[in-house]
Amino acid sequence: MIRVPWAKPLGEVCRDWLLELARKDAEEGCPRVSRLKSDNAMYFMDLTKDWSVQQRGDLLCARVRWLFNKNYGHSQSELTEAERAAESHWDYPFFGRNLGTGPYRSPGKPGVEIARPSGRRTVVDADKAESVHRLDRMELGEFKIDKKRLKGAVKTAMLPAFGTPKVAGPLWQYITNVDGLTVSTRLDFGGRQPSQLRYHQWIHSIKDGKRVWLLDHGGIGSLLGSPRTEWRYLTDADIPEAANLLVQVCKEFVEAVPGLWARSGLTGLEGEPS
């Protein structure tokens, strides 16, 4: 998530901001995560449907800490005891696994028998039954969308806050200048199926006339421990909500950048720590 070593403090305050956002999302009933139609987001909602607000927040925070601790070289952020307990239930990714008991099965987890489209019945982990059903429905063609309609809805939703994108095939890029920094927001409508839409944001500045990449940000998927945010299970009826969620989370990050930069203790354009 960091592109230059001295920008490490920016990544760490971004992690802290995401931890705050994780608690906020849980307290509000998960209005961000629950509307993200991705594998991991929908699995999260299946897994935690009977959990308390506190437990949901603990799991989201655990996923944020895992992402930064494991992938990006920041200082280690220790999980609380409650976060560890919540994290112990998380078991994603799982598609295609075979742990000796077969796909979608984990040793020691309760199982449930479900019917597959072929008519065959199989036992899967109880917390993955809905995920397996969604995958089957997708393979049967249920989650098909009108890409032209999706692009139109996204373009309209993004326009007031982000303007008109620079388009290069399936990639759209928006540039936002914030207090001497630049936030790039990239949308990808052309990912390999079953991906329907992805987005990514990052921060950079200019030093000696050259672009200095400061921070990669994985988007709202970071709340689930993923540097990639994507929609996979949209239907045409879901398009307006997906467009509204996209602009909401993109704006939240852009609006947070000045505070993140100030809290990082970095000077900005000079390319040196303060």
**What is the extent of the structural domain holding 34?**
5-264
Asked if the model's pLDDT at residue 103 lies above 80, the reply is no
Asked if the model's pLDDT at residue 151 lies above 80, the reply is yes
Residue 48 lies in a domain: yes
What is the Cα–Cα distance from 274 to 270, expressed in whole angstroms? 10
Asked if the model's pLDDT at residue 271 lies above 50, the reply is no
Alpha-helical regions (H) of 28-182: 39-47, 53-71, 81-87, 129-139, 147-162
- CB neighbour burial string for 30-55, b if at least 16 within 10 angstroms, e if fewer: bebbbbbbbbbbbbbeebbeebeeeb
Residue 216 lies in a domain: yes
The DSSP letter of residue 100 is S
Percent of the chain residues topping a pLDDT of 70: 91
Asked if the model's pLDDT at residue 210 lies above 90, the reply is no
Instruction: Give 257's pLDDT tier (boundaries 50, 70, 90).
Output: very high
Instruction: Give 72's pLDDT tier (boundaries 50, 70, 90).
Output: low
Report how many domains make up the chain.
1
Percent of the chain residues topping a pLDDT of 90: 70
Mean pLDDT on 133-156: 95
Residue 259 lies in a domain: yes
Higher per-residue confidence, 217 vs 80: 80
Mean pLDDT on 102-118: 87
Asked if the model's pLDDT at residue 88 lies above 90, the reply is yes
Q: Which of 198, 259, 192, 227 is nearest to 64 (CA)?
A: 227
Instruction: Give 71's pLDDT tier (boundaries 50, 70, 90).
Output: low
Residue 39 lies in a domain: yes
Tens digit of each residue's pLDDT (9 = 90 or more) over 121-130: 989 999 999 9
| Least-confidence region, from 70-79, 165-174, 178-187, 255-264 | 70-79
Tens digit of each residue's pLDDT (9 = 90 or more) over 187-204: 999 977 789 999 999 998
Higher per-residue confidence, 199 vs 218: 199
Query: Widest CA span of the chain, in angstroms?
Result: 65
Q: What pLDDT score was predicted for residue 53?
A: 98
CB within 8 Å of 235: residues ≥ 6 apart: 142, 143, 144, 145
Asked if the model's pLDDT at residue 273 lies above 70, the reply is no
Q: What pLDDT score was predicted for residue 208?
A: 78
Identify the bridge partners of residue 206 per DSSP, sorted by sequence position. 211
Residue 274 lies in a domain: no
| One-letter amino acid for residue 16 of the chain | D
Q: What pLDDT score was predicted for residue 232?
A: 95
